[in-house]
A and B are shown apart, each in its own frame.
Chain A
Amino acid sequence: MGMTNGNPCCVFLRKDVMRFVKHIFLLVAVACLFACVQKDEVDIIPVNDFFKSQDRATYRISPDGRYISYLKLQDKKQNLFVEEIATGKSVQLTHLQEKNISFYAWVSSDELIYYKEKNGQRFQSDLFIINKAGKGERKLTSNESRIRVLQDELTEGKFLLVLSNQRDSTVSDVYRLNVRNGEMKMALKNPGNITRWMTDARGQLRMAVSSDGVNETLWYRENENQQLKALVTNSFKTTLLPIAFSESNPNLIYAISNVGRDKNALVELDCTTGKEKNVLFANDTLNVVDAQYSRQKGKIAFVVVENWKKEKHYLDNDAKERYQKLDQLLPKTESRIIDGDKRENVFVIRTFTDRNPGSYYLYIADKGTVKKLSDNNSAIKQEQMCEMKPISYVSRDGLNIHGYLTLPKHKKTKNLPVVVVPHNGPGQRNTWGYNAEVQFLANRGYAVLQVNYRGSTGYGMNFYAAGFKQWGVKIQDDVDDGVKWLIQKKIADPQKVAIYGTGFGGYIAINSAIKSPKMYRCAAANSGILNLFSYLKSIPPFMKSNLQMFYELVGNPNTDFDYMHQASPLFHADQVKIPVFINQSVKDPRINPSDAIQFVKELKKRNSQVTYIENDDSPFSMNREENRQKMYTALEQFLESNLKRK
């Protein structure tokens, strides 16, 4: 910074320092910020800004479309509010001190139900009903079981279908809950393997999905007087996801299916035969991930396909017209419908892009107006964020791998330090949109590579199955091939590549430290899986069938013992030659914290450079922010000392 630039700052500084001695540090920070802007450099945005979430959330529209409700966080306390759309008058419904609202819904145009939960106690939920004016709060149930609302619309003005595990904590039965007196009557007993229930437009329970962990069976009945009958069975590798009952044809449902094909399609399923009757939308390259059924119109409005980002394909012209109007009102952004009224006229819309955490809007279709409700994270300025670009490359064995590349701002796309961020798993994927972690790393000057390695969902059945039992083998190669591709494109500095991931992403990162130490300068894992045996052990043994699925995905300890031994980093600490960063919560139920402690001990004994951060957070605790700050600050230092220092 030149003197001419510096002086005004200093004058400004001096005056104020005299006035506000206490604020000296703040002012220095401000002055620095000025200096930075003048230098046309990227502002370093505080860690927590990236991860802040909205203080208003979970918007819902009353069935009559006249009221909007939301949860609001004030002084770390979450409460339910209802606002009249026409007048903007709002009423605070709850006054909670210790508990949180984990779920709420409108059950009629006048009443809402909600759960109160104590922090960390996931299996204790009390169900309440309250008038929209905040009067007449009544506790409906209270027991040490989990209750979930299945059908959030009152039938006969007083009955609600709920799922509860009060009979047996491992299975959910369907109950008919009388919201007037809190009485619960079992509507259907779960034989033990039903994982999903579905009601039709009239609230009739007519479909269920059962699973033995590996195979999924669809059960169907024409009306509630009949018994559910098994319709069709598929393995977990295939998708058959019921979307809605057709109202025109009695025995027809809409479903997303990849039975008999690689990519998901939207089909009509004949429930008398279990066969596909009609294909509504199918494409060899596009994967259907969602479909929107319009109850009012009685047909599917659009399907959502995901390639590098989600896109709508309209199956109904009216819907197309309406959503295109919405696109005109909210240009240059993605939008999703969060909730709507019965008439499908008043909607809550959520927008987002890769560079914007997005906002909530109230959309009134017949008036053609949108009104901003709140920002998801107002600390983030879109112009400071980095673009997330889709990329693809061919792996060493000829598979087409897709991913995303986020480049830091104000830097030449040449010889950049790179952080590879493999996603968690098994069976997940990276999607296009605002990603706090990626933006944080890009803001710190790193190019961020995300790879949808084989086994990721969304690229068809074959691609998904190609990743089975390939942890540490071909999945590792896919990630390494992505780095090679970046180096070949001269974007990456081959000397400055780091890898960081969470869960199975962390597993891939630590495995890289063992398998490809020449490619990566350092590796970091957050709640990383270090031992596949421990991972399988975290699945309760009574979930035998579920275990079978994981045996296929990850490995069977009885038959694939040697593979799992080979693929688990914990057994190979002696081969770690690059600096390693490990963060974990000792209360994380998905991992065995002893594994990481032993691993770190072993590394330290071998004088390997290792940074270990431990917290005793449960995944639902309130001081997450503090720990998150600690973890990302440490990660930033770790990456900087390994990638930026020459």
Chain B
Amino acid sequence: MVSEKDSGYRKNFSLIVTFIVLISVLFVLSLFLAFNFSKKNIENDFVSAKANVLEESMKPYNDFFLNKLPEISYYNGYLDSARASNFADSLLLEYPFVRNVLFYDTQVKNIKIEDNGINYGDCSIGVKSIYQYGKSVPKDSIRLYSENEVINPVDMANFRALSLKFITFVERMDTTKVPSQEALFSNFTNIRSNKIDYFNIPSVEILKAYKRMVANKLETDPVYQQDMLSFELDPAKIRIRNTRPLLYQRVQVVPITYDPLDTSSDYITGEITLGGPFSDYKLYFISSRSFVKKEIFSYFLPIAALLLLFYGVLVLVAFLIYRNLNVNHKMFKLQYDFVTNLTHEFKTPVSVIKIAGNNIKSAASLSPQEQRLYGKILDEEADKLNGLMNKLLAFTQIENKSITLNRDEINITDFIESTLEAHQLKHPDFKLSYEVGGFSTFITDPVLLGSLFDNLLENAYKYSPANKQRVHITARLIKDKVVFRFKDHGIGIPSSEINNIFKKFYRIQNRYNQNGSVGLGLAFCKELVNFMHGEITVKSVVDRGTEFKIVLPYIS
């Protein structure tokens, strides 16, 4: 830790912990809010979705009211009992809430009538006959009334009411204007509880004739046919379309006064009034709390999952940042060590040169032996420095790919021999041997290959005990690949370190490393091999020796 602080490099583990804690708090908080939101939303839905259920359930009725009733007008009063029966049957079949249809075949004329209709001014609206149609109507009671013959008692009040309504409207009608469709429809329709009466709406010309007939008796004694249909409706037969089955456990049509006592706090209820002829009824919605809770959760869970995902991603990002910081820290340490080592490497020759220089400066006179000795020392140390710098430069070049790969044909035996000779010269105690098989020449960059050989041989010499400094090189052609093997009997590499040896600035801590190593050698070799489109691998046993294997493409 101290060294980390010294290096100025901060790891700030606590910052990451703070971050994790904060987002965790935020996560929990948002879960809580999301749940509350879901709850509120579902509770609101319980209130607002009622209108939707009402609209869907009333669709068939609206269709009946707005499309089927006007169809009666299409027939312009020409309906008779048989046609009305056909028409009524189609309605009874299509709309289950229509229980019963009464058909009033009526006439509008200028002759006063007694009891089967109304007289208004000089105009009279009278019933010729009444028929009823419905699923439970027996065949013999279809005809309820015909002129002057009452077969079954029938209530004429609704007929009188609607007749009066429309004839009053006609009387007050402004003949210079065309009455609106809405005005006509509402004045030829009577909506009562569970009942709708509808008179066919005649054309404006006929309405004008009616108006004249109210005002005075026309000489032509016109007789106009009007049809009235009276529908008895059954609200219980309205098919409820629960658009939110997961929200409303039960929906039912109940009288408007319905208010049960036994609804405990375990239930949520709601109601909405049915319109038109069903205004005495309402839709009653009831759900148990646990039922609603299920719906709340089904709403909340996707939100929670989303939040969790978001939280997970944040944590992952935090972890990745932490890991990157760690790696960077290690890299930093390696570079720091490298600089330390490099300085050390440079320091030894520089201090030797300094001492030699001082000695020469301070000596009154130099003997020829002394002069040769100092000369030799200065020359050797300058070479060392130069070697170090060359290596550093070459490595940078390779790494930045700023050199080009030359292709020359080399004789492999000559090449190895000349390389070994140079090393033999440098280290007379170095025992070197080689064998070549399968090929004699191949095309490569001789300088890079030489550098590779130098490095590996230098390493083998350096990491071998004094009496075991020997290397055996084999070069073979195996399946279009040139394979070089460098086998030494050195100290070996522990298996735990084997993956690190090709890393830049990495050095195994041991006694052989005390002087003259910057940890670049093998990393440089690997870069070289990669540059030459080959591979380098290593096998090693501690205290037995190491074998490097280099595979290069064979080009001849």
Residues of A within 8 A of B (CB): 168, 170, 531, 533-534, 536-538, 540-542, 557-558, 561, 568, 570-571, 586-587, 589, 591-595, 597-598, 602, 605, 616
Contacts and interface: CB of A to CB of B under 8 A. Distances in A.
Interface stretch (B124-132, B199-207, B423-431): B199-207
B222 A541 contact: yes
B219 to A, nearest CB: 6
Contacts of A570: 74
A568 B178 contact: no
A537 B201 contact: no
B75 interface: yes
B70 interface: yes
Nearest to B180: A586
Contact of B203 (A170, A537, A558, A561): A537
A593 B178 contact: yes
Contact of B76 (A537, A542, A571, A586): A537
A595 B71 CA distance: 9
Contacts of B71: 571
Interface stretch (B77-85, B189-197, B248-256, B274-282): B77-85
B178 A542 contact: no
Contacts of A594: 70, 73, 181, 184, 201, 203
* Most chain A beta carbons < 10 A, residue from B74, B201, B204: B74
* Most chain A beta carbons < 10 A, residue from B70, B78, B206, B222: B78
Nearest first, the 7 A-B pairs at minimum CB distance are A542-B220, A592-B203, A557-B78, A533-B76, A537-B76, A586-B178, A542-B222
B203 A538 contact: yes
Contacts of A540: 209, 220, 222
A558 B71 CA distance: 18
A138 B174 CA distance: 35
Contacts of B218: 542
A585 to B, nearest CB: 9
Contacts of B209: 540
A614 to B, nearest CB: 10
Contacts of A589: 203-205
Nearest to A169: B219
Contact of B224 (A541, A561, A591, A595): A541
Contacts, number: 72
B181 A597 contact: yes
Interface string B213-239: 000001111111000000000000000
A531 B74 contact: yes
Contacts of B203: 534, 537-538, 589, 591-594
A616 to B, nearest CB: 6
Given A533-B76, A536-B76, A541-B222, 15 more contacts: A534-B76, A536-B78, A537-B76, A537-B202, A538-B205, A561-B78, A568-B74, A587-B204, A593-B203, A594-B70, A594-B181, A594-B184, A594-B203, A595-B74, A598-B74
Interface residues of B, number: 28
Interface of B: 67, 70-71, 73-78, 80, 83, 178, 181, 184, 201-206, 209, 218-224
A97 B67 CA distance: 48
B83 A561 contact: yes
13 contacts: A531-B76, A537-B76, A540-B220, A540-B222, A541-B222, A571-B71, A571-B74, A586-B178, A587-B204, A589-B205, A593-B178, A593-B204, A594-B181
Given A541-B224, A561-B83, A594-B73, A168 B219 contact: yes
A542 B221 contact: yes
B88 to A, nearest CB: 15
A602 B74 contact: no
Given A586-B178, A593-B178, A533 B74 contact: yes
Contacts of A168: 219
Nearest to B178: A586
Contacts of B77: 537
Contacts of A531: 74, 76
Nearest to B221: A542
A597 B178 CA distance: 13
Contact of B78 (A170, A533, A602, A616): A533
A587 B83 contact: no
B7 to A, nearest CB: 76
Given A538-B203, A594-B184, A597-B181, A170 B219 contact: yes
Contacts of B83: 561
A594 B206 CA distance: 13
A113 B33 CA distance: 94
Nearest to B223: A541
A542 B221 CA distance: 7
Nearest to B108: A541
Contacts of A616: 178
Nearest to B177: A616
A571 B70 CA distance: 11
B70 A598 contact: yes
Contacts of A593: 178, 203-204
Contact of A587 (B178, B219, B221, B222): B178
A168 B223 CA distance: 18
Contact of A558 (B67, B73, B78, B206): B78
A105 to B, nearest CB: 31
A26 B468 CA distance: 113
B71 to A, nearest CB: 8
